[in-house]
Amino acid sequence: MLVIMKNDATQLQIEAVINHIESLGYRGIPIPGALRTAVCIVGNQGFIDDTPLLSLDGVKECLRVTKPYKLVSRETHPQPTIIRLKDITIGNKKPVIIAGPCAVESEKQALTIAHSVKQSGAQIFRGGAYKPRTSPYSFQGLGEEGLKILAKVREETGLSIVTEATDITNIELVERYTDIIQIGARNMQNYALLKRAGQTSKPILLKRGFAATIEELLMSAEYIMSEGNTQIILCERGIRTFADNTRNTLDISAIPSIKEVSHLPVIVDPSHAAGRREFVIPLSKGAMAVGADGLIVEVHNDPPHSVSDGRQSLYLEQFQKLMQEINKLNM
Ligand code: PEP
Ligand code: MN
Decide whether any atom of ligand 1 lies within 6 Å of the 267 Cβ. Answer: no
> Is the pTM for the entire model greater than 0.85?
yes
- Read off the amino acid at residue 288: M
The response to whether residue 237 sits with its C-beta less than 6 Å from ligand 1 reads yes
pLDDT at 276: 98
pLDDT at 331: 55
Residue ranges of the chain with pLDDT lower than 70?
331
pLDDT digits (tens, 9 = 90+) for 14-58: 999 999 999 999 999 999 888 899 999 999 888 899 999 999 999
Pocket test for ligand 1, best of 272, 309, 312 (most atoms within 8 A of CB): 272
Q: What is the CA radius of gyration of the chain?
A: 21
Q: Is the dihedral of CA 84, 94, 129, 254 positive or negative?
A: positive
128 lines ligand 1 (CB under 6 A): yes
Whole-angstrom CA distances from 285 to 1, 176, 206, 222, 245 are 39, 34, 21, 29, 19
Please report the atom of ligand 1 found closest to the CA of residue 186: 8
Among 98, 102, 208, 266, the mutation site with the greatest number of ligand 1 atoms within 8 A of its Cβ is 102
